[in-house]
Structure 1
């Protein structure tokens, strides 16, 4: 059990530097990351308040 906990902790600690390395160039200097945050899909509701496809008449986008 302790071995499993140690393995999970080690894997969590090792994944963080890999994500930070994506924003560095080949020389190791920091650069602006080109990855964008994932956007939420736009959802729409009809006049009755039920979810509907955004292309249908009367559907309005919801945040």
Structure 2
């Protein structure tokens, strides 16, 4: 069974975003360009399907 492309690439990508983030934070912290204030908003707002308005015909 042949491996999908992602199955071959995924092991190479493990930890990539962590390394990028740590490098960016280290560079910004070295220049005193970061104040370490973190704001996270994970708001999700779902509307009822009828809230989309009347059905469009024709």
| Higher strand residue share | 1
Q: If the length of structure 2 is used for normalisation, what is the TM-score?
A: 0.37
Q: If the length of structure 1 is used for normalisation, what is the TM-score?
A: 0.35
State the structure with bigger RCO (CA 8 A, min sep 6), 1 or 2: 1
